[in-house]
Amino acid sequence: MPVTRLLRQVAGQMLGSPACGCWTATPLLQFLGTSPRQIPADASFHSASFSGTDQPRVLITGGLGQLGVGLANLLRKRFEKDNVILSDIRKPPDHIFHSGPFIYSDILDYKNLREIVVNNRITWLFHYSALLSAVGEANVSLARAVNITGLHNVLDVAAEHNLRLFVPSTIGAFGPTSPRNPTPDLCVQRPRTIYGVSKVHAELMGEYYHHRYGLDFRCLRYPGIISADSQPGGGTTDYAVQIFHDALKNGKFECNLKPSTRLPMMYIDDCLRATLEVMEAPAESLSMRTYNINAMSFTPEDLAQEVLKHIPEFQITYNVDSVRQAIADSWPMNFDDSNARKDWGWKHDFDLPELVTTMLNFHGSDTRVAQAN
């Protein structure tokens, strides 16, 4: 089965290619594309006029995932709607398509990606296509193609056209031999998932391209990202999103991690703001190209206790998934993000109480509307 077709099937099951992302293929020397089609850059570009000559022209790959749409909304407020192009291999819902420029982009097709960058005069590229931890372990060959082969195309196009490139990394880039509490920016990594391995590869390749070719590569290691308006997408930290859906709908939740499993977490608004801030930071302020960022660290038991303050009848049970538990046990318990705070002024807004209140208010209003209807 062609990789792209298999990808569409996995993407459909995931309801959105989650928090972090990658996909593309090969070096500046050559590429054999996997997509049978080449899409002209203005094919679905229903808002093609740009304004503001000093503003970046942005492309977001894997844009229909957990972070892509939210990032596009933030960047469109900052740089004007028509300067930010969302892309994916899936057809967008109507509200996303009509919210601003959307284009088909198969990052495993180097020629397609290059045409989009050239024809739309892209200057910033956010690379958000990946299979996450648990999904990647279920399909290693596809994760290797998307997360590693895809990255090479993005790096080459970015270097060739002098782009500022953002590639997200993850807590999954660390392994069981890494210091876990706290985990510094620079330490032994050695992850044991294809997702984690691909992210270490992305960090190192990005830094290599920066030193070898002068590529303006920037990377943040995201903790678990919690967002109110997206569905879980196959990650190990997804319990911290699903718990709110189930608490309001059923009054109970079955967690697939042990109650004492501590992981670093962040609300999506902090994550998106950090991403924009590091991209806007002056190059001379960056002492490194890959930074940890963090907001809070909690366990399923901590989260359940906070939910109980709002829903006294809430009940949580545990049915541990051995694969996800093993992944979580190899990840950091807490991130040291002191370099990000020192170099470019990173500061989070949401702690656990604010996170829980925000999530319950969002889903509670949705639940009340559904009941009324």
Instruction: Label the pairing between strands 296-298 and 263-267.
Output: antiparallel
Is-contact 353 306, C-beta < 8 A?
Answer: yes
Catalytic residue selected from 110, 195, 239, 291:
195
For 127, phi then psi, to 5°, come to -100, 100
Is-contact 140 180, C-beta < 8 A?
Answer: no
| E strand spans, the chain | 58-61, 84-88, 102-104, 124-127, 164-166, 169-170, 216-222, 224-226, 252-255, 263-267, 290-292, 296-298, 315-318
Q: In terms of residues, how long is the chain?
A: 373
**Dist CA 129 CA 11 (whole Å):** 10
Verify whether residue 195 is a known catalytic residue: yes
Is-contact 294 348, C-beta < 8 A?
Answer: yes
**Dist CA 258 CA 270 (whole Å):** 26
Residues assigned a catalytic role: 195
